[in-house]
Structure 1
Amino acid sequence: MAHSGSNHKIDYIELAVADIGRSRQFYGAAFGWTFTDYGPDYCEFNDGRLRGGFTTFGAPKPGGPLIVLYADDLEDAERRTKVAGADIVKPIFAFPGGRRFHFTDPDGYELAVWSAQ
Structure 2
Amino acid sequence: MLDVQQKAFQACLQSFVEANNKRVDEMVREHAREVADLRMSLQYTQRDIDEMKMTIHSQSDRQSNTTRDVEQVTCAQREIEDGIDYVENHTNRNNLRIDGVAEVAAENWEVVRKSFTTALKLTA
TM-score interval, normalised by the smaller of the two chains? under 0.3
Normalised by the size of structure 2, how large is the TM-score? 0.21
Higher helix share: 2
Higher strand share: 1
Higher alpha-carbon Rg: 2
Q: Which has the higher contact order (CA 8 A, sep 6+)?
A: 1
